[in-house]
Amino acid sequence: MLAFVKIRINAIPIKLIILLFSLFLMIQNHSAAQESKFSPYDYMTTSDNQSIRYGVWKCWKEKRLGSVILLGGRREFMEKYTETINELIQKGFDVYSFDWLGQGLSTRILTNKHKGFIENYDIYINDLNMFFREIVQPEAALPLVILAHSMGAHITLRFIHDHPGIADKVVLVSPMIDILTSPSPGWFVRFITRVAVKVGLDHAYVIGSGDYTGEKFEGNRLTSDPDRFMDENRAIAENPDLALGGPTYGWLSATFESIEILTEPGYAEKITTPVLIVSAGNDRIVPIDAQKAICSLLPDCRFTEIPDARHEIHKETDTVRSIFWDEFDRFTNASIK
């Protein structure tokens, strides 16, 4: 009888532990559900069954200035632009963004997910059009402003050429109108790329590039701000799936092909949307002369060069970024409220 009572008494804490553990799991599941409910991120599926991750951030202000469609460059992802997104919201904009196919948390095209690849730029343009039609236009506050960096700026110019009137204003930051290929001349890099693709090396890394490895600030060509430089590394450390390595010959071939389309005679002259180009005076990724040239051809274009800025103006020092935001505010009639 005494043994039976002892077992019953010992069983009480066990049942209590099981109950508490069950409650803990319920709380965790509820928290996860709530987090998912309020997450800015979601996915859309393209016509060829690719998954594109996008994000929507709503401004809390009663009177909004409109909506900004924020488009990053090659290798980038939405988390890298957290600071910029918060600044746009503070100004009074809703913000819409997405990860390009093949990078961020959108579908990766090749088995080696670190390889940057695209078959042609029409894919990027079609995905951007789908994002506009299905996600942005049904609910976005007007006017619509596209804010795009580097490769995203290149795609934007082709997009507004093909879809005139779809955006009210466009701000291009360090736009990839062409690529700096030094120390090799551009004609030679184009020739090597054509040969590589012709012999079936379109999925191979461009010579000198490879899988993603954590980068060091010293000697980087992107920004002179050491803290903002680490934003990308910190995000990848938290979620390694965001990492993307170097470009393949396939990506480079598609890029050169799209550059030829963008710069062919008469193309830029048909883009009627008001454009602001903000150029980095110390850019070693894309040439400034090409940016000035296309601005001179666009019917409605303003050009600003920030002398000490490197390629990633959004990730630059406070001084550089302050100049950028002043230009952005004047062009969009925005200001921090």
- Rounded CA-CA distance 83/296 in Å is 32
**pTM for the complete prediction?**
0.88
CA angle 272/275/279 to nearest 5° reads 145
pLDDT tier at 214 (50, 70, 90 boundaries)? Answer: confident
Q: Please say if the pLDDT value at position 7 is more than 70.
A: no
The residue ranges of every structural domain in the chain are 1-38, 40-332
pLDDT in tens, 218-236: 889 999 999 999 999 999 9
Q: 40-332 maps to which CATH number?
A: 3.40.50.1820
Give residue 258's pLDDT.
98
pLDDT tier at 10 (50, 70, 90 boundaries)? Answer: low
Give residue 33's pLDDT.
39
The mean per-residue pLDDT over the stretch 33-58 comes to: 85
Q: Mean of the per-residue pLDDT values for the chain?
A: 91
Q: Please say if the pLDDT value at position 137 is more than 60.
A: yes
Which amino acid, residue 287?
P
Using alpha carbons, list the distances in angstroms from residue 316 to 86, 137, 223, 232, 325. Answer: 16, 31, 5, 13, 12
pLDDT tier at 215 (50, 70, 90 boundaries)? Answer: confident
